[in-house]
Structure formats: structure tokens, C-alpha cells
């Protein structure tokens, strides 16, 4: 059975989506894709915000009973301190405070950079040396919380680190952005007192997971050296 030209034309029109409906559908799919892409980035930060709010409003102990406070050392102006007088921190404990006046940063410093530690404050990588030990101190912080304004730091700014055994002041020498997998961004074997701060960093306004890191390199200005 053969269809006439009119019958074929009518059947084709019925099978097509009306043009006045096509544009809204395409637009809706585009919005949906955008929301999903943004969601993957934002949702990943929700635990950080919740944990940050919880720890700031909670007592001096976290949910595992670990003490979240510390007794800051006084700045006596001493240039050295015997190793016997140094209270070496245990993993997961608060042993200091980081203050960067130019960026409005003031947060606890924990020994360890696991998720729990970074939800409480800034965390020192355990494989690096504590301040005063004459090597590299590597400290991380979330760019969604405690290190959110680290991107505003400039060369010449001062970073104050108060620990349980001494007060250290560093000066920013440089800031650089590297891929998160670049292990040459810092030197843990460097035989010189220095502080390296880092956080996630977005080079542009693209959507998705952040793959770059902002590194801030600081030299020691004052603080006691640990005499081994």
C-alpha cells in the first residue's frame, strides 16, 4: 500500500517534536548538566564545611577524645632551645597556631594532614620537620575553609607560627602554582629552616575538580633553633 504525498507529510509532522518544545528541552538539559558539574565540586566540600562548623562550636575535645587545644610558648627572644625542652607532637594533636595577618588567617596547627586534621585547622605533613628543626616544615590547609584566603598572600608578608615550645616568624619569599602530582614543588631534605604552605588552587574559572596547588615559600625571620 502506497501513501500519498499528503499522507507522508502528515505522518512526518506527527513524528517530529514541535519546535516550540525543542528549545526549552535543550535548554533544560544544558542547565541540568551545568548543575551536575557544579554539584560534584560543591558536594565534595560539604563535609569540610560541616566539620569545620562542628569543631569551632564544640568543646576542646574532638569526637575521639583528642585534646584540640594547646599551651602556647612565650616569645622570650631566645635563639635556641635544647631538644630536651621540646614537646614533640603526636600525630593528630594540636601543637600550634598559624597566623597570617595580611590574609586574615588564624587557625590551629595539627601534626598530621589527614582529613580529620584538615577539618580542624592546618595540618603539617608528618614526613616534614617541625619548626626550629632546621629543615622544611610542610603545612596544608583547605582552600574552602582555613586557607581560603591564602591566595591573597604576597611576597614580603609575615607568617607567625606559635608552638608549644617556641614562636616562629617567617617571611614569604615566593608563591607558585604546580600540578598536585608535582613532587618537586617542595624539598623535604633541604638543610635550611623554611616553611612551605600549600592549598588547592584553581588557575581559571573552569568547572570540575581542582588539580593544582598553590605553594607559598617562606624563610625564617626569628625563632629558636632546636639544639640536638
- Cα separation, 24 vs 21, in Å, equals 6
Q: Residue 215 CB: number of other CB atoms within 10 A?
A: 19
- Cα separation, 141 vs 100, in Å, equals 13
- Give 130-162 pLDDT, tens digit per residue: 999 999 999 999 999 999 999 999 999 999 999
Instruction: Take residue 30 and report the three cell numbers written for it.
Output: 544544558
Identify the residue whose cell numbers are 594547646.
70
Cα first-last separation, the chain: 100
The single-letter DSSP state of residue 179 is E
**Weakest-pLDDT range from 17-21, 100-104, 134-138, 173-177:** 17-21
Cα distances from 43 to residues 12, 46, 114, 208, in angstroms, run 45, 5, 19, 11
Identify the residue whose cell numbers are 635544647.
82
Quick check: helix, strand or coil at residue 65? coil
Instruction: Determine the pLDDT at residue 218.
Output: 98
- Are 195 and 131 contacting, i.e. CB atoms less than 8 angstroms apart? yes
| CA nearest to 195, candidates 107, 149, 127, 136 | 136
- Are 90 and 126 contacting, i.e. CB atoms less than 8 angstroms apart? no
- Are 159 and 170 contacting, i.e. CB atoms less than 8 angstroms apart? yes
Quick check: helix, strand or coil at residue 80? strand
Per-position b or e across 166-196, b if 16+ CB within 10 A of its CB? bbbbbebeebeebeeeeeebbeeeeeebbbb
- Cα separation, 72 vs 167, in Å, equals 8
What residues does 180 pair with on adjacent strands?
none
pTM over 0.85: no
Instruction: Determine the pLDDT at residue 117.
Output: 94
- Are 97 and 168 contacting, i.e. CB atoms less than 8 angstroms apart? no
Q: Is 185 left (phi over 0), alpha (psi -120 to 50) or beta?
A: alpha
- Give 108-120 pLDDT, tens digit per residue: 999 999 999 999 9
- Give 186-214 pLDDT, tens digit per residue: 999 999 999 999 999 976 655 556 789 99
- Cα separation, 212 vs 210, in Å, equals 6
Amino acid at each position: 500500500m502506497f501513501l500519498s504525498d499528503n499522507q507522508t507529510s502528515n505522518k512526518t509532522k506527527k513524528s517530529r517534536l514541535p519546535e516550540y518544545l525543542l528549545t526549552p528541552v535543550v535548554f533544560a538539559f544544558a542547565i541540568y548538566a551545568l548543575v551536575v558539574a557544579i554539584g560534584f565540586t560543591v558536594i565534595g566540600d560539604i563535609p569540610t564545611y560541616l566539620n569545620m562548623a562542628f569543631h569551632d562550636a564544640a568543646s576542646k575535645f574532638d569526637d575521639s577524645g583528642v585534646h584540640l587545644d594547646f599551651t602556647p610558648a612565650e616569645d622570650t627572644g631566645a635563639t635556641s632551645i635544647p631538644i630536651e625542652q621540646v614537646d614533640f607532637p603526636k600525630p593528630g594533636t594540636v601543637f600550634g597556631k598559624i597566623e597570617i595577618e595580611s590574609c586574615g588567617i588564624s587557625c590551629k596547627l595539627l601534626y598530621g594532614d589527614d582529613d580529620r586534621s584538615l577539618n580542624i585547622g592546618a595540618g603539617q605533613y608528618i614526613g616534614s620537620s617541625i619548626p626550629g628543626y632546621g629543615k622544611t616544615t610542610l603545612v596544608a590547609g583547605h582552600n574552602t575553609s582555613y586557607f581560603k584566603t591564602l591566595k591573597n598572600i604576597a611576597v614580603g608578608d609575615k607568617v607567625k607560627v606559635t608552638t608549644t615550645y617556641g614562636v616562629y616568624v617567617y617571611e614569604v619569599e615566593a608563591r607558585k602554582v604546580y600540578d598536585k602530582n608535582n613532587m618537586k614543588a617542595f624539598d623535604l631534605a633541604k638543610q635550611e629552616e623554611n616553611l612551605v604552605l600549600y592549598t588547592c588552587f584553581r588557575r581559571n574559572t573552569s568547572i570540575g575538580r581542582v588539580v593544582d596547588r598553590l605553594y607559598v615559600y617562606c624563610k625564617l625571620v626569628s625563632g629558636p633553633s632546636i639544639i640536638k
